[in-house]
A and B are shown apart, each in its own frame.
Chain A
Amino acid sequence: MLLDTHTLVPSLNDVPLHYLKPNSLVKFRCLIQDMFDPEFYMGVYETVDPSTKTKMLRCGKYKDVTECGVDFNSRNTVTAERQTFYCVPIPGENPWVKEISSSCLTEARVVPSTSYAPSRQKRSYEEDDDMDTHPSEHHGNGDCKRQETEAPSSQTASASHLDLNFPLPGEKGPSCLVKVYEDWDRFKLNDTLEVYGILSVSPALSALADEKDASSSLLDPAESMETAEEQRVHSPPASLVPRLHMLHAKPLPHNNPLLPSAALEDNSAFLSSTLSEMASVREEILSYFTHVLLGDALAAEYLILHLISNVYSRRDVLPLGKFTLNLSGCPTVASYTERFYQIIQQLVPSSHYLAMSLQNMNQMRLVPKKDYVANRLVSGALQLARNTSLFLDETQLEQGQLDTTGVRNVTALGNLISWQKVDYDFNYHQMEFPCNINVLIASEGRSLLPSDCQIHLQPQVAPSHLEESLSSIHMHPQASSQLNKFRIYLSMARLLDYSISDEVTKSVEDDFVDMRKDDPQSISAEDLHRMLVVARLLSLSLGQTSLSRDSWLRAKHIEMLRRSRMEQHKCVNGNEP
């Protein structure tokens, strides 16, 4: 039942804030960007009516502001604790995800708010002002007049000077202060969640920030001790950063709207139907990628493996299952890498393109840093949700000097690739946050960053036709049903379970010993590591949940092809004067 009704809840991701009714149930698909300090609030309090002197007990949960006439000295006051998370929309979420998820909700948008009519006139300034002087009347009974005061025009100005702290530049969408009432220890930074909660946009919350100049002399001295920056960050205008009081949060294993959001095991019908199709979809996607990669089928194979890779476990410091791909030999003409990224963007739910130009490396903030003045974690481009595809374009890098920031950024990227962790900068110390990001490096020669696997692109297109065939890639018409099939395929393959039987284990071990016997230099422990990952990903890409002898041989085979290509390439380099 829940499955059907939850689509009726309007989503903050899709519906503009001023169309949503305050104090109503909404949902928000987001990433926990920062965790603020826990706060104490009045869980239960007593109010005294000034005229009748009647006392009344009230509940303060799921609310930001109390009713009038609080009796501070009441013995019935119960202080409770809640935690605040600063949440942003999932960084790098691709447009197709947003489109599809909002189209599921077309009917939901109309339901919650009768006033949803985009052409509606804005209220005049005078009326706004009028309401501000009696703000108390708003909160009592959730009147629906309230949302008009949030008419966006007056707020856009303030938006410009307020940094909403999105990890990636150019992101849009509301960020939200989510108030958590239970079990906040189970959430971790950078978790992706779908939060169901009560929306609170009381203008009283932003009063502090707005009227600071006028009323600062009247403020409690204890409060003015907070710096202006801190106030701005921790109590931003509610119209810009609404408060969401969490009733329920669903961790998102993925953010692909085409897949059921429940765990796969609970949805066996969907599972079996897609599993049977996987092999055939794989063929299609392989031929599509071959085309994109200028006719290089082997590179296409590796690209599939890369896109479905996933850190599934960690052994002490070693992340297992990561598969960073370095695609070297990328043509530098006709902005090939950008086009290539656009295609990936069409297929994966979230991704980010990072041009590794000298300027970017020296100037961008990749690693999140704690700002102690504003008391918040200033985000960086490496604060990404799990399974985000990070596309590093090294063809943009030119010769020149890396400064301190540049060196730090390159080190951070190297750490990310090798250990799947980012060391956040807390000024006095660093803190390590594990992550799970698929890194794809496009470069001309071998990348300066480490990678799990390097493959040199061998275009099957004559250099004279390169330009032409490049321009055709972008045009390649893809029916949206086909695209959706690919999208489901890539997300599905990542979620499958995987195992190796004892029998196959034995034969893998034998294989390794044999290979070493022939030529110990040819294969090292590291190669075996990689081959096991390739075999795993290859099986999953075929929809097989356990390793078969065939898949192992196939993995060995493509690894051999790749290595021979690398050696060949090395020789070519060596012979050159």
Chain B
Amino acid sequence: MSCFDQPPILHVQPNEVDMSSPLMYGTPSSRVEGTPRSGVRGTPARQRPDLGSVRKAPQVDLHSDTDGAVASEPNAGQRLVIWGTDVNVGTCKEKFQRFLQRFTDPNSTEDENAGLDLNEPLYMQKLEEISVVGDPVLNVNCRHVQSFDAELYRQLICYPQEVIPTFDMAVNELFFERFPDSILEYQIQVRPYNALKTRNMRSLNPEDIDQLITISGMVIRTSQLIPEMQEGFFQCQVCAYSTRVEVDRGRIAEPAVCRNCNNTHSLALVHNRSVFSDKQMIKVQESPEDMPAGQTPHTTVVYAHNDLVDKVQPGDRVNITGIYRAVPMRVNPRQNNVKSVYKTHIDAIHFRKTDEKRLHGLDEEAEQKLFTEDRVQTLKELAAKPDVYERLSSALAPSIYEHEDIKKGILLQLFGGTRKDFSQTGRGNFRAEVNILLCGDPGTSKSQLLQYVYNLVPRGQYTSGKGSSAVGLTAYVMKDPETRQLVLQTGALVLSDNGICCIDEFDKMSDNTRSVLHEVMEQQTLSIAKAGIICQLNARTAVLAAANPVESQWNPKKTTIENIQLPHTLLSRFDLIFLMLDPQDEAYDRRLAHHLVSLYYQSEEQMEEEFLDMAVLKDYIAYARTYISPRLSEEASQALIEAYVDMRKIGSGRGMVSAYPRQLESLIRLAEAHAKVRFSEKVESIDVEEAKRLHREALKQSATDPRTGFVDISILTTGMSATARKRKEEVAQALKKLIQAKGKTPAMKYQQLLDDLRGQSETAITKELFDEALRALADEDYLTVTGKTVRLLA
């Protein structure tokens, strides 16, 4: 600043006298220097650069063209208002004190209010908290102010720069009246939040300048800490007289003449006696959800002051409450003309991180989406329709033909089960997400289905098994080049926490990568031990995977496991496994042809009439996920038990296990999801029916033993059907007999033995089968196989 260039002069003038004068309130100055007359004196006031660091309305000229009256001493005439506003300090203060003393919010759900008595005045309890904790900040929810006194709220929104200092005054008077003995570091500052004025960065416009706004967004960059001078301390080089000069509109006017010795240009700035405040520049970008398609996100500059500095990090999602500012830009200090553009920024008063609790506990808060009354009404009407389930499932990916059950399965996946937390009883979390695997011939629009789901859900991730590594799915540790700190970068699975992770070409994934999924798909967590960072991240993600058969075509003669060659330990973690096969039937072909052709000639409007809007579907799902958490009814539990017992029974007749507890869990999840579709808080028997039906359908497709035609769950749980196991034993026995029949031959040729067995057996013996039989006998220590020779033991 040019004013520091020359040495100055001075005069002693006790600034404090000015400070305590109530006249200070009258100016639009934001500084709450003045201590109210009560017991506040002992506590120093702290400057609030967040309220007026940049622009102050001109102070001197004002007084000359007053018809609007220059402000008021608190007890001066009631008609006096702060210049340029309709705020009367006295009234405003009284109103706010009344608000603090009387406001109660019996239905509060905010976590800040946990532990407070909701029927007592809320903010008085908070003041009490301040007196105990000693953190002199009072956060005030603007919505509370609004419901208490709409006029006061309007003034707060429109003239925050004047009203907030008044609030500060009011609260300090009240506080020290109540707790005269408490000692605070500085006076209490009021931080309003949740101003309803604006929600979206895109809708900021010139009318919002100098008003209190709340916007949401994502922090993309934070600057280093910037010390900003609030008050310059000057000392005369001649007589050592010192004086202080306050910052005004970002500048400090250097006194040219010393008031004490009348020397000119003798005053010098003393840096370490000047007052500085911390300041940080933060860039915030619109959150991706708020943006119209085809446009780039907007960014806004936010200045954080004092203790708000370093409160947020890049990547955080935040709600910011602050005052919107616009400052004219000077093209060149030496020129008079200005670029006609203003620089805009927000002076932050309050930050609220929306994903603060991401790593622990529930984060319904983040999911919270504001639904208008109308929207909720529409959604409820839709939910009341008896065929809502069918409607929604047909609205899912309308361009993909039929596969009704698969769509229904995916629909249930989108809703998910109810989250249950048994961690207090030591049993940990139960998975609420439904996992689905689609297998089938290439080109049966599996990828398209995945793409659709990925586009539908807010926290979806799409990866291909071919391109992703274990690191890309989980998380990796990186050294930040600037700070040299280790930073945890999260991968697809963590990013889709509370969403759906779509994995295409699941079969192409390396074993190493796939092994990561074991933990995620059952425990819903992800453990990382890397570069000194050991942690467990939540990955409560539903997995929607698609796999192609190992041979280019699906072989109907083989089991699912044989077709896709995935470990059964992984397969059993999928609730539903669907086959997407070509049905090869004429009526189907005709319908398919009609569907496809119409895709190519119907106009967009026609299509839209037929199906539910994607936006409605999105809102419907978001609403159900946030607000509906169905519980099992007595009747439904009975139905579930019966269903499970039935499933066990089917197999027991043939000596095999046809259901495991995992299947019961799947059924529960599916039934809960179905209840969510109906917006029902209770799981009823119809939900269980549908869950059973869908589960059976999926099993019928994927767990049918091609040799017997029966559904056999052990294909998925152990990788081998019961009949196959039986067959293996039979062959082994036959082989043993054959060898015994040969008498005492300690060694035999492998090929010879195979030919003999083939000659003897009625059914075809494959080489694989023969190998397995040999292995079984080797396990019995009956023989060993070395190369091409089989040796008998003992």
Contacts and interface: CB of A to CB of B under 8 A. Distances in A.
Nearest to A70: B338
B331 A207 contact: yes
Most chain-A CB neighbours within 10 Å: which of B2, B288, B298, B331? B331
Contacts of B333: 215, 218-219
B299 interface: yes
The 5 closest A-B pairs by CB, nearest first: A188-B294, A512-B593, A315-B399, A509-B593, A500-B601
B58 interface: yes
B106 interface: no
Nearest to A434: B294
A204 interface: yes
Interface string B551-587: 0000000000000000000000000000000101010
Given A35-B296, A139-B337, A372-B220, A41 B342 contact: yes
A67 B2 CA distance: 25
Given A80-B206, A500-B601, 17 more contacts: A35-B295, A40-B209, A70-B337, A70-B338, A204-B335, A215-B332, A218-B334, A427-B220, A428-B314, A431-B297, A505-B598, A512-B590, A512-B592, A512-B593, A513-B586, A524-B582, A526-B443
A68 B336 contact: yes
Contact of B298 (A38, A204, A315): A38
B54 interface: yes
Nearest to B300: A37
A503 B296 CA distance: 45
A509 B332 CA distance: 72
B359 to A, nearest CB: 17
Interface string B322-334: 0000111111111
Interface string A57-81: 0001001111111101100000111
Contact of B452 (A188, A317, A512): A317
Interface in A200-239: 204-205, 207-208, 211, 215, 218-223, 225
B339 A375 contact: no
B340 A64 contact: yes
A222 B220 contact: no
Contact of B345 (A65, A66, A222, A520): A222
A516 interface: yes
Interface string A482-523: 000000000000000001100001001100110011001000
A44 to B, nearest CB: 10
A116 interface: no
B596 A516 contact: no
Interface stretch (A160-168, A255-263, A528-536, A563-571): A528-536
B281 interface: yes
B270 interface: no
B331 to A, nearest CB: 5
A84 to B, nearest CB: 10
Most chain-A CB neighbours within 10 Å: which of B58, B296, B333? B296
24 contacts: A35-B295, A38-B204, A41-B340, A42-B328, A66-B338, A66-B340, A80-B206, A136-B335, A189-B294, A215-B332, A222-B343, A315-B599, A315-B607, A318-B399, A320-B600, A372-B220, A375-B299, A411-B464, A431-B288, A500-B597, A509-B597, A516-B584, A517-B586, A529-B596
B326 A79 contact: yes
B296 A220 contact: no
Given A317-B455, A508-B597, A513-B586, A37 B299 contact: yes
A40 B451 CA distance: 40
A315 B206 CA distance: 39
B226 to A, nearest CB: 7
A377 interface: yes
Contacts of A70: 328, 337-338
A45 interface: yes
A462 interface: no
B344 interface: yes
Nearest to A533: B600
Interface in B370-402: 397-399, 401
Interface in B1-22: 2
B327 A222 contact: yes
B514 interface: no
A270 interface: no
Contact of B604 (A188, A313, A533): A313
Contact of A525 (B205, B335, B339, B401): B401
A528 B593 contact: yes
Contacts of A429: 288
A79 B344 CA distance: 12
Interface string A304-330: 000000000101111010000000000
Contacts of B299: 37, 375
A529 B444 CA distance: 12
A436 B599 CA distance: 19
B65 to A, nearest CB: 10
A2 interface: no
B328 A72 contact: yes
Interface residues of B, number: 82
Contacts, number: 205
A533 B713 CA distance: 43
A81 B203 CA distance: 11
A512 B326 contact: no
A135 interface: yes
Nearest to B587: A513
B594 interface: yes
Interface in B332-365: 332-345
A68 B345 CA distance: 26
Q: B interface, by DSSP: helix, strand, loop or mixed?
A: mixed
B399 A316 contact: yes
B467 interface: yes
Interface of B: 2, 54, 58, 61, 204-206, 209, 218, 220-221, 223, 226, 228, 250, 281, 283, 288, 291-301, 314-315, 326-345, 397-399, 401, 443-445, 447-448, 451-452, 455, 464, 467, 582, 584, 586, 589-590, 592-594, 596-601, 604, 607, 614
A204 B593 contact: no
Contacts of B604: 313
A508 B599 CA distance: 13
Contacts of A189: 294-296
B228 A221 contact: yes
Given A67-B337, A139-B337, A225 B250 contact: no
A46 interface: no
A205 B339 contact: yes
A513 B335 contact: no
B358 to A, nearest CB: 14
Contacts of A372: 220-221, 283
B396 to A, nearest CB: 9
A100 interface: no
Most chain-B CB neighbours within 10 Å: which of A35, A40, A68, A188? A40
A34 interface: yes
A314 B141 CA distance: 45
A313 B329 CA distance: 45
Given A317-B451, A431-B288, A509-B594, A65 B601 contact: no
B58 A40 contact: no
B336 A69 contact: yes
A499 B297 contact: no
Given A72-B328, A520-B582, A525-B445, A222 B250 contact: yes
Contacts of B61: 73
A345 B600 CA distance: 30
Contact of A136 (B206, B337, B401, B443): B337
Interface string A22-46: 0000000000001101111110010
Contacts of A211: 332
Contacts of B443: 524-526
Interface in A415-441: 418-419, 426-429, 431-434
Contact of B343 (A204, A223, A426): A223
A126 interface: no
Contact of B596 (A80, A426, A433, A525): A525
A68 B218 CA distance: 39
